[in-house]
Amino acid sequence: MERLKKLPVLGALIAFANARPRLAAWIVLSLGIVILLVIEARDVGLLLGQWIALIAASVIVAGLCIWIVSWEDQDESAGKSAEQ
């Protein structure tokens, strides 16, 4: 892992993910969803406005997913502070 951190671009990406893990997860999940959407719907014949709406909705859903998953992190951190 230390060798990867020494690479200029990859090291910056790892530092960004460590500093803002939820935002990094949102970006990665959004990219994955949008790539799958484009692959699966490329032959459907959607108009530009429909593509924009689908991509925007996908990014919003990815953000909501990361937000919901982060609730568990907040519960664990609240439990640790209550024990101390």
Burial 45-84 (b: 16+ CB within 10 A, else e): eeeeeeeeebeeebbeebbeebeeeeeeeeeeeeeeeeee
Query: Would the pTM of this model clear 0.85, i.e. be above it?
Result: no
Q: How far apart are CA 56 and CA 34, in angstroms?
A: 9
Q: Does position 27 have pLDDT exceeding 70, yes or no?
A: yes
Instruction: Give domain limits for the chain.
Output: 21-77
Any idea what DSSP says for residue 59? Answer: H
| pLDDT tier for residue 44 given thresholds of 50, 70 and 90 | very high
